[in-house]
Amino acid sequence: AEESRPSLAALLLDPSFWADWASVVGLVGLVIVFGIAQPVFLSVANLQALLLAAAILVVLSIGQTFVIATSG
């Protein structure tokens, strides 16, 4: 049996939707605001710098996750 999907209006009024997606919506909103305020923010060079800076945290978090998942 097929389940009917809720309408967009019903989805946007559902508090559990916002509990799940609030951080993503907030991040997209910040990128839009900073992209409008400073066009350099969305440049390729800046995005590369952001990814390079985040790479260190990603490697560390993967290591921590591995330690936690293996109990020690």
Q: Tokens 């967009």 sit at which residue?
A: 8
Question: What whole-number distance in Å separates Cα of residue 68 and Cα of residue 63?
Answer: 9
**Range of 4's domain?**
1-37
Backbone φ and ψ of 44, nearest 5°: -60, -40
Co-location of 48 and 72 in the same domain: yes
pLDDT in tens, 8-50: 888 888 889 889 999 999 999 999 999 999 989 999 999 999 9
The full length of the chain comes to 72
Co-location of 2 and 32 in the same domain: yes
Q: Which residue has the higher pLDDT, 56 or 4?
A: 56
Type of residue at 15: P
User: Which band of pLDDT confidence, cut at 50, 70 and 90, is reported for residue 52?
Assistant: very high
pLDDT value at position 44? 95
Question: What whole-number distance in Å separates Cα of residue 34 and Cα of residue 40?
Answer: 9
Cα dihedral sign, 4-9-12-14: negative
Co-location of 17 and 46 in the same domain: no
Co-location of 46 and 17 in the same domain: no
**Whether pLDDT at 1 is above 60:** no
Co-location of 44 and 22 in the same domain: no
